Protein backbone atom coordinates (compact mmCIF):
# COMPACT_ATOMS: atom_id res chain seq x y z
CA UNK A 1 0.00 0.00 0.00
CA UNK A 2 2.89 2.26 -0.91
CA UNK A 3 3.01 5.36 1.25
CA UNK A 4 0.14 4.42 3.50
CA UNK A 5 1.02 3.55 7.03
CA UNK A 6 -0.02 0.01 7.88
CA UNK A 7 0.31 -0.88 11.52
CA UNK A 8 -2.09 -3.74 11.83
CA UNK A 9 -3.07 -4.59 15.35
CA UNK A 10 -4.31 -8.11 14.87
CA UNK A 11 -6.92 -9.23 17.35
CA UNK A 12 -6.26 -12.94 16.88
CA UNK A 13 -4.03 -13.19 19.94
CA UNK A 14 -5.96 -13.98 23.07
CA UNK A 15 -4.79 -15.47 26.34
CA UNK A 16 -6.82 -18.38 27.65
CA UNK A 17 -6.77 -17.10 31.21
CA UNK A 18 -9.49 -19.40 32.47
CA UNK A 19 -9.58 -19.02 36.25
CA UNK A 20 -5.83 -18.64 36.77
CA UNK A 21 -5.39 -14.88 36.39
CA UNK A 22 -4.35 -14.09 39.95
CA UNK A 23 -2.33 -17.24 40.70
CA UNK A 24 0.77 -16.81 42.90
CA UNK A 25 4.25 -17.58 41.61
CA UNK A 26 6.04 -20.64 42.89
CA UNK A 27 9.73 -20.63 43.85
CA UNK A 28 12.02 -22.81 41.76
CA UNK A 29 13.17 -24.69 44.85
CA UNK A 30 9.89 -26.62 44.93
CA UNK A 31 9.52 -27.12 41.17
CA UNK A 32 9.62 -30.90 41.64
CA UNK A 33 6.33 -30.64 43.54
CA UNK A 34 4.55 -28.60 40.88
CA UNK A 35 1.78 -29.96 38.67
CA UNK A 36 1.06 -29.24 35.02
CA UNK A 37 -1.58 -26.78 36.12
CA UNK A 38 0.95 -24.94 38.29
CA UNK A 39 3.37 -24.52 35.38
CA UNK A 40 0.46 -23.42 33.20
CA UNK A 41 -0.42 -20.68 35.70
CA UNK A 42 3.20 -19.49 35.76
CA UNK A 43 3.26 -19.48 31.98
CA UNK A 44 0.17 -17.27 31.82
CA UNK A 45 1.72 -14.83 34.28
CA UNK A 46 4.90 -14.64 32.22
CA UNK A 47 2.90 -14.00 29.05
CA UNK A 48 1.10 -11.13 30.77
CA UNK A 49 4.46 -9.73 31.91
CA UNK A 50 6.01 -10.08 28.45
CA UNK A 51 8.44 -12.83 29.52
CA UNK A 52 7.74 -14.96 26.46
CA UNK A 53 10.80 -17.24 26.54
CA UNK A 54 10.11 -18.12 30.17
CA UNK A 55 6.44 -18.63 29.35
CA UNK A 56 7.42 -21.12 26.64
CA UNK A 57 9.52 -23.03 29.16
CA UNK A 58 6.65 -23.05 31.67
CA UNK A 59 4.14 -24.30 29.10
CA UNK A 60 6.62 -26.94 27.95
CA UNK A 61 6.87 -28.19 31.54
CA UNK A 62 3.08 -28.28 31.75
CA UNK A 63 2.87 -30.32 28.54
CA UNK A 64 5.56 -32.75 29.73
CA UNK A 65 3.44 -33.43 32.79
CA UNK A 66 0.17 -33.59 30.83
CA UNK A 67 0.63 -34.44 27.18
CA UNK A 68 -2.97 -33.64 26.14
CA UNK A 69 -2.99 -30.18 27.77
CA UNK A 70 -4.71 -28.28 24.93
CA UNK A 71 -4.66 -24.90 26.70
CA UNK A 72 -0.92 -25.18 27.32
CA UNK A 73 -0.29 -25.83 23.61
CA UNK A 74 -2.53 -22.91 22.69
CA UNK A 75 -0.81 -20.51 25.07
CA UNK A 76 2.68 -21.69 24.16
CA UNK A 77 1.65 -20.80 20.62
CA UNK A 78 0.68 -17.35 21.88
CA UNK A 79 4.14 -16.77 23.34
CA UNK A 80 5.81 -18.08 20.18
CA UNK A 81 3.82 -15.64 18.07
CA UNK A 82 5.23 -12.78 20.11
CA UNK A 83 8.83 -13.80 19.36
CA UNK A 84 8.10 -14.63 15.70
CA UNK A 85 8.55 -18.40 15.96
CA UNK A 86 5.67 -18.94 13.56
CA UNK A 87 6.34 -22.54 12.56
CA UNK A 88 6.48 -23.63 16.19
CA UNK A 89 3.30 -21.65 16.84
CA UNK A 90 1.50 -23.47 14.02
CA UNK A 91 2.67 -26.85 15.34
CA UNK A 92 1.37 -26.00 18.83
CA UNK A 93 -1.97 -24.85 17.47
CA UNK A 94 -2.22 -28.11 15.54
CA UNK A 95 -1.81 -30.00 18.81
CA UNK A 96 -4.27 -27.75 20.63
CA UNK A 97 -6.87 -28.38 17.91
CA UNK A 98 -6.16 -32.12 17.98
CA UNK A 99 -6.92 -32.32 21.69
CA UNK A 100 -9.70 -29.67 21.67
CA UNK A 101 -11.27 -29.43 18.17
CA UNK A 102 -13.52 -26.52 19.18
CA UNK A 103 -10.69 -24.34 20.48
CA UNK A 104 -11.49 -21.00 18.81
CA UNK A 105 -8.33 -19.32 20.13
CA UNK A 106 -6.15 -21.98 18.51
CA UNK A 107 -7.73 -21.32 15.10
CA UNK A 108 -7.37 -17.55 15.54
CA UNK A 109 -3.74 -17.83 16.62
CA UNK A 110 -2.82 -20.32 13.90
CA UNK A 111 -4.48 -18.01 11.40
CA UNK A 112 -2.35 -15.16 12.69
CA UNK A 113 0.82 -17.27 12.36
CA UNK A 114 -0.10 -18.11 8.76
CA UNK A 115 -0.83 -14.43 8.09
CA UNK A 116 2.57 -13.36 9.38
CA UNK A 117 4.22 -15.98 7.19
CA UNK A 118 2.43 -14.49 4.19
CA UNK A 119 0.16 -17.54 3.81
CA UNK A 120 -3.02 -15.50 3.57
CA UNK A 121 -5.25 -18.23 2.15
CA UNK A 122 -4.52 -20.58 5.05
CA UNK A 123 -5.11 -17.68 7.44
CA UNK A 124 -8.54 -17.13 5.89
CA UNK A 125 -9.33 -20.85 6.19
CA UNK A 126 -8.61 -20.72 9.93
CA UNK A 127 -10.61 -17.51 10.33
CA UNK A 128 -13.54 -19.23 8.59
CA UNK A 129 -13.33 -22.08 11.08
CA UNK A 130 -13.23 -19.64 14.00
CA UNK A 131 -16.32 -17.90 12.62
CA UNK A 132 -18.12 -21.24 12.26
CA UNK A 133 -17.38 -22.01 15.92
CA UNK A 134 -18.06 -18.52 17.27
CA UNK A 135 -20.07 -16.42 14.77
CA UNK A 136 -20.17 -13.29 16.92
CA UNK A 137 -16.42 -12.90 17.50
CA UNK A 138 -15.32 -9.69 15.78
CA UNK A 139 -11.67 -10.76 15.78
CA UNK A 140 -12.16 -13.49 13.21
CA UNK A 141 -13.96 -11.13 10.81
CA UNK A 142 -11.28 -8.48 11.24
CA UNK A 143 -8.46 -10.98 10.73
CA UNK A 144 -10.13 -12.39 7.65
CA UNK A 145 -10.61 -8.89 6.30
CA UNK A 146 -6.93 -8.04 6.74
CA UNK A 147 -5.87 -11.28 5.01
CA UNK A 148 -8.33 -10.67 2.15
CA UNK A 149 -6.92 -7.18 1.69
CA UNK A 150 -3.43 -8.61 1.39
CA UNK A 151 -4.73 -10.83 -1.42
CA UNK A 152 -6.19 -7.79 -3.16
CA UNK A 153 -9.80 -8.75 -2.38
CA UNK A 154 -10.70 -5.31 -1.10
CA UNK A 155 -14.48 -5.59 -1.41
CA UNK A 156 -14.41 -8.83 0.57
CA UNK A 157 -12.19 -7.11 3.13
CA UNK A 158 -14.62 -4.20 3.48
CA UNK A 159 -17.48 -6.66 4.01
CA UNK A 160 -15.53 -8.31 6.81
CA UNK A 161 -14.60 -5.00 8.40
CA UNK A 162 -18.30 -4.10 8.38
CA UNK A 163 -19.10 -7.39 10.12
CA UNK A 164 -16.34 -6.79 12.66
CA UNK A 165 -17.71 -3.30 13.38
CA UNK A 166 -21.19 -4.77 13.88
CA UNK A 167 -19.87 -7.26 16.47
CA UNK A 168 -17.16 -5.39 18.37
CA UNK A 169 -18.07 -3.90 21.78
CA UNK A 170 -17.92 -0.12 21.52
CA UNK A 171 -15.93 -0.08 24.75
CA UNK A 172 -12.95 -1.35 22.73
CA UNK A 173 -12.59 2.08 21.19
CA UNK A 174 -8.98 1.84 20.02
CA UNK A 175 -9.70 -1.44 18.24
CA UNK A 176 -12.74 0.16 16.60
CA UNK A 177 -10.44 2.91 15.33
CA UNK A 178 -8.09 0.27 13.90
CA UNK A 179 -10.92 -1.31 11.93
CA UNK A 180 -11.91 2.06 10.49
CA UNK A 181 -8.29 2.61 9.51
CA UNK A 182 -8.07 -0.68 7.65
CA UNK A 183 -11.44 -0.21 6.00
CA UNK A 184 -10.23 3.20 4.87
CA UNK A 185 -7.12 1.65 3.35
CA UNK A 186 -9.23 -0.85 1.41
CA UNK A 187 -11.37 2.01 0.12
CA UNK A 188 -8.25 3.87 -1.00
CA UNK A 189 -7.28 0.83 -3.06
CA UNK A 190 -10.73 0.96 -4.68
CA UNK A 191 -10.25 4.70 -5.36
CA UNK A 192 -13.18 5.57 -3.10
CA UNK A 193 -11.22 8.42 -1.56
CA UNK A 194 -14.16 10.29 -0.04
CA UNK A 195 -15.30 7.22 1.90
CA UNK A 196 -11.69 6.53 2.90
CA UNK A 197 -11.36 10.07 4.23
CA UNK A 198 -14.51 9.57 6.30
CA UNK A 199 -13.13 6.35 7.79
CA UNK A 200 -9.83 7.96 8.78
CA UNK A 201 -11.69 10.90 10.29
CA UNK A 202 -13.90 8.49 12.27
CA UNK A 203 -10.77 6.81 13.62
CA UNK A 204 -9.41 10.20 14.70
CA UNK A 205 -12.67 11.13 16.44
CA UNK A 206 -12.49 7.87 18.39
CA UNK A 207 -8.77 8.17 19.18
CA UNK A 208 -7.28 11.62 18.86
CA UNK A 209 -3.80 10.13 19.35
CA UNK A 210 -4.07 7.76 16.38
CA UNK A 211 -1.03 8.70 14.30
CA UNK A 212 -1.85 6.05 11.70
CA UNK A 213 -5.20 7.69 10.98
CA UNK A 214 -3.64 11.15 10.64
CA UNK A 215 -0.96 9.76 8.31
CA UNK A 216 -3.48 7.95 6.14
CA UNK A 217 -5.78 10.97 5.98
CA UNK A 218 -2.81 13.15 5.08
CA UNK A 219 -2.03 10.86 2.15
CA UNK A 220 -5.64 11.08 0.93
CA UNK A 221 -5.54 14.87 1.26
CA UNK A 222 -2.46 14.85 -0.95
CA UNK A 223 -4.21 12.69 -3.54
CA UNK A 224 -7.08 15.18 -3.54
CA UNK A 225 -4.66 18.07 -4.03
CA UNK A 226 -5.39 19.44 -0.56
CA UNK A 227 -1.73 20.00 0.32
CA UNK A 228 -2.49 22.27 3.26
CA UNK A 229 -4.67 19.52 4.73
CA UNK A 230 -1.84 17.06 4.15
CA UNK A 231 0.64 19.35 5.95
CA UNK A 232 -1.80 19.66 8.85
CA UNK A 233 -2.15 15.90 9.27
CA UNK A 234 1.54 15.06 8.78
CA UNK A 235 2.41 17.78 11.31
CA UNK A 236 0.11 16.05 13.82
CA UNK A 237 1.85 12.73 13.15
CA UNK A 238 5.19 14.42 13.88
CA UNK A 239 3.81 15.84 17.13
CA UNK A 240 2.68 12.36 18.16
CA UNK A 241 5.80 10.60 16.87
CA UNK A 242 8.70 13.05 16.43
CA UNK A 243 10.93 10.38 14.82
CA UNK A 244 8.51 9.49 12.00
CA UNK A 245 10.67 9.83 8.91
CA UNK A 246 7.70 8.92 6.71
CA UNK A 247 5.71 11.89 8.00
CA UNK A 248 8.62 14.27 7.39
CA UNK A 249 9.02 13.00 3.82
CA UNK A 250 5.34 13.36 3.02
CA UNK A 251 5.07 16.77 4.64
CA UNK A 252 8.15 17.82 2.69
CA UNK A 253 6.52 16.72 -0.56
CA UNK A 254 3.40 18.71 0.32
CA UNK A 255 5.52 21.80 1.04
CA UNK A 256 7.30 21.28 -2.28
CA UNK A 257 4.02 21.14 -4.21
CA UNK A 258 2.93 24.39 -2.56
CA UNK A 259 6.21 26.06 -3.54
CA UNK A 260 7.74 26.19 -0.05
CA UNK A 261 11.04 24.71 -1.15
CA UNK A 262 13.19 25.53 1.85
CA UNK A 263 10.64 24.02 4.24
CA UNK A 264 10.48 20.96 1.98
CA UNK A 265 14.26 20.53 2.02
CA UNK A 266 14.39 20.93 5.80
CA UNK A 267 11.82 18.16 6.21
CA UNK A 268 13.62 15.80 3.83
CA UNK A 269 16.92 16.42 5.61
CA UNK A 270 15.25 15.61 8.92
CA UNK A 271 13.71 12.45 7.44
CA UNK A 272 17.06 11.27 6.08
CA UNK A 273 18.61 11.69 9.53
CA UNK A 274 15.93 9.54 11.13
CA UNK A 275 16.11 6.89 8.41
CA UNK A 276 19.87 6.46 8.70
CA UNK A 277 19.68 6.21 12.51
CA UNK A 278 16.84 3.68 12.24
CA UNK A 279 18.74 1.53 9.74
CA UNK A 280 16.20 2.12 6.96
CA UNK A 281 18.72 2.18 4.14
CA UNK A 282 16.30 2.09 1.20
CA UNK A 283 14.14 4.88 2.65
CA UNK A 284 17.29 6.88 3.31
CA UNK A 285 18.51 6.50 -0.27
CA UNK A 286 15.13 7.42 -1.75
CA UNK A 287 14.93 10.49 0.48
CA UNK A 288 18.39 11.62 -0.62
CA UNK A 289 17.30 11.28 -4.26
CA UNK A 290 14.25 13.45 -3.61
CA UNK A 291 16.38 15.95 -1.74
CA UNK A 292 18.85 16.19 -4.60
CA UNK A 293 16.05 16.78 -7.11
CA UNK A 294 14.56 19.57 -5.00
CA UNK A 295 17.92 21.24 -4.53
CA UNK A 296 18.50 21.11 -8.28
CA UNK A 297 15.09 22.69 -8.87
CA UNK A 298 16.01 25.58 -6.57
CA UNK A 299 19.34 26.04 -8.36
CA UNK A 300 17.56 26.14 -11.73
CA UNK A 301 15.07 28.73 -10.44
CA UNK A 302 17.94 30.92 -9.18
CA UNK A 303 19.71 30.71 -12.53
CA UNK A 304 16.52 31.78 -14.33
CA UNK A 305 16.08 34.69 -11.92
CA UNK A 306 19.68 35.83 -12.39
CA UNK A 307 19.29 35.65 -16.17
CA UNK A 308 16.61 38.32 -15.96
Check residue 24 and report its DSSP letter. P
Contact 231, 255 (CB under 8 A): yes
For the chain, the straight-line distance linking the first and the last C-alpha, in angstroms and rounded, comes to 45
DSSP SS3 for 14: coil
The mean pLDDT of the chain is 87
Distance CA(139)–CA(156), nearest Å, equals 16
pLDDT at 21 over 50: no
DSSP SS3 for 7: coil
Could you tell me the pTM of the whole model?
A: 0.82
pLDDT (tens digit per residue) in 92-104: 999 999 999 999 9
Distance CA(289)–CA(286), nearest Å, equals 5
Q: Long-range contacts of range 257-266, CB-CB < 8 Å, 24 or more positions apart?
A: 257/222, 257/227, 258/227, 258/228, 258/231, 261/294, 261/297, 261/298, 264/294, 265/291, 265/294, 265/295, 265/298
| 1-158: CATH superfamily | Tetratricopeptide repeat domain (1.25.40.10)
Kindly list the distances between the CA atom of residue 199 and the CA atoms of 1, 112, 152, 158, 183, in Å, as whole numbers in the listed order: 17, 25, 19, 11, 7
pLDDT at 149 over 50: yes
Question: Span 32-39, mean pLDDT?
Answer: 81
Other Cβ atoms closer than 10 A to 32: 6
Higher pLDDT, 295 or 5: 295
For the chain, what is the radius of gyration of the CA atoms? 24
pLDDT (tens digit per residue) in 38-47: 899 999 999 9
Confidence of residue 251 (pLDDT cuts 50, 70, 90): very high
Q: Could you give the dihedral angle defined by the CA atoms of residues 242, 280, 191 and 220, in that order, rounded to the nearest 10 degrees? A: 20
Amino acid sequence: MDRFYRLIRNFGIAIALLCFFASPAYPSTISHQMSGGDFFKLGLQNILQGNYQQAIQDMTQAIQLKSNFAAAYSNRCLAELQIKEYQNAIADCNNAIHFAPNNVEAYLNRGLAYYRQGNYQNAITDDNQAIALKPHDFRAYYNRGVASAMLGNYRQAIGDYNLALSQIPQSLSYQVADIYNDRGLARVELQDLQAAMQDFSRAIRINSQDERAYFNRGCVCGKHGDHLGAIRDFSTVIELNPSSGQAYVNRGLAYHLLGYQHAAITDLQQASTFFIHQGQKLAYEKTLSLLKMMQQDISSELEVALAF
